[in-house]
Structure 1
Amino acid sequence: MDINGSVAVITGGGTGIGAAVAEHLAGKGAATVIVNYSRSAAEAEATVARLEGLGCKAEAMAADVSDDAAVRRMAARVRAAHGRVDVLVCNAGTTTWVPFPDLEGLTGEVWREIMGVNLMGPFHCARAFAPDLRAARGAIVNVSSIAGLLPTGSSIAYGVSKAALIQLTRDLAVALGPEVRVNAVAPGIVATRWHIGRMGEQVFSEMAAREEAKAPLKRTARPEDVAQMIVALLESDLVTGEVLVGDGGRHLTY
């Protein structure tokens, strides 16, 4: 896929990994980037301003990806305004921090919220944008996690949602082929407010240092690293249904 001139939709695009992906795509010559957000309106508008400074048309669009009707309205709006969609990056995610032994902490509400955003959200988006992606022979990249491959992460529900997203990626690769390629990335810990905001800078730094000490590359990911992985998958025309792990090789030493 040639990113130059493309129209991209990035869910959770206002902050962290999503914002880094948006800037990478703008740097590659994307014509238009739709920055989806649910609660981070100010951050999404700031991302739009940065993209416009890079010469890329950009627009912030609010939609809760767990709400199918809201996603369909967003897809209709993008279709009416831009006429095509080449790229869909499903990055929006949520979690609740529950220690693994605390099974009672995994309430029905926790499960519904996490699965609604992390699993149903990408499905809603893939379904709503499928006609546009098929017409453009486009590509989808889902943002999963190393927690979808190993028993780690913020909670059991989070890990299960990311494991299910990996399987959804494979299934959609079959369902949407040959016109649309569907892949996923599975980062380890990433230096974003997702982690830092919940742990605090000191606790996060200590955890990152422990992980880096065990990783063959002796480093953990930045949002820009994950964005690089996503763009690589978008540009890999013979790759579909795959999961690209990016954790400095930490998964090799568990």
Structure 2
Amino acid sequence: MTGRFSGQVAIVTGASRGIGLGIAQRLVDEGAQVCITARKEAALAEAADVLGDGRAIYVAGSADDPAHQDEAIAATLERFGRLDLLVNNTGINPVYGRAIEVDLAAVEKIFRVNVVSALSWAQKAYAASLAEHGGAIVNVASIAGLKPAPNIGMYGASKSALIHLTEELAVELGPSVRVNAVAPAVVKTKFANALYEGREAEVAAEYPLKRLGEPEDIAAVVAFLLSQDAAWVTGQTIVVDGGLTLTGGSV
């Protein structure tokens, strides 16, 4: 790897597995030190071991808990002395079905975790370091936020809001802080398991590239957006979907 992130420090939320861990691994491989967060401490400890001694720390907690956010940022600054990069990867989708029938408490939870907490992480990271030293933020959205997504409509609505939030923050925080997003299609993770389990070949056949995504596919694009290779890119949502949206497909 090129060492694009040598001397830089990142926080990656929702990074005990899947896309988040893939992003953290890519950043470490390119020279960064990282703080990873998620709810389960044991899974985080295992992930940190994978990332390498001295390269990663972890802080367990709920992504939408302000006290957890404060703890993670404080731990990052104490251990590494700086914070340059933030990846808002945490996302939930606890309901499946028609939006007209969805439980409103679940909707509130989806938006609190997928949108409000992303804003809160950005606010706190900005106040703690990015406002003074600059940096970059990437939000992990979804192609479900780009068009109607039957049966996961509230998840899609939250990701649409996250995409708009990305644009708002890009306008507000430039020129010192760039803010972008990625919008994946189905990636082979535990989170997306229900969308392809037992029928992967059938689902993949709808994609022009004839395969589902891997965490590394998303990590590569996130790393680009965080790096100085994307120094003139802000407020953009990069679709990473194997071509699915070209054919009219949706999650």
1:37 equivalent in structure 2 = 38
SS in 2 for 1:214: coil
1:212 equivalent in structure 2 = 204
2:160 equivalent in structure 1 = 163
SS in 1 for 2:34: strand
SS in 2 for 1:24: helix
Once the two structures are superposed, the pairs formed by residues 1-150 of structure 1 within 5 Å of their partners are: 2-30=4-32, 32-38=33-39, 40-52=40-52, 56-100=54-98, 103-104=100-101, 106-131=102-127, 132-150=129-147
Code of the aligned partner of 1:240: T
State how many pairs are aligned.
243
2:220 equivalent in structure 1 = 228
Cα distance in 2 for partners of 1:153, 1:5 equals 43
- Cα deviation for residue 68 of structure 1 reads 2.4
Verify: 1:190 aligned to 2:187, yes or no. Answer: yes
**Aligned residues of 1:65 and 1:124 also touching (Cα < 8 A):** no
**Aligned residues of 2:4 and 2:31 also touching (Cα < 8 A):** no
TM-score w.r.t. structure 2 length? 0.91
Cα distance in 1 for partners of 2:202, 2:131 equals 44
CA RMSD for the aligned pairs? 1.8
SS in 1 for 2:239: strand
Gaps of 5+ in 1: none
- Cα deviation for residue 205 of structure 1 reads 4.2
TM-score w.r.t. structure 1 length? 0.90
**Aligned residues of 1:95 and 1:154 also touching (Cα < 8 A):** no
**Aligned residues of 2:85 and 2:136 also touching (Cα < 8 A):** yes
Percentage of identical aligned residues: 37
- Cα deviation for residue 91 of structure 1 reads 0.4
Cα distance in 2 for partners of 1:8, 1:74 equals 11
| Cα separation, partners in 2 of 1:83 and 1:139, compared to 1, 3 Å | same
**Aligned residues of 1:13 and 1:37 also touching (Cα < 8 A):** yes
Code of the aligned partner of 2:43: E
- Cα deviation for residue 99 of structure 1 reads 1.7
- Cα deviation for residue 154 of structure 1 reads 5.1
Code of the aligned partner of 1:252: L
**Aligned residues of 1:14 and 1:37 also touching (Cα < 8 A):** yes
Code of the aligned partner of 1:215: Y
- Cα deviation for residue 153 of structure 1 reads 6.0
**Could you list the per-position Cα deviations for residues 49-87 of structure 1 after superposition, in whole angstroms to 9, with x for gaps in the alignment?**
01115xx52111023221223312322332233221111
SS in 1 for 2:191: helix
Gaps of 5+ in 2: none
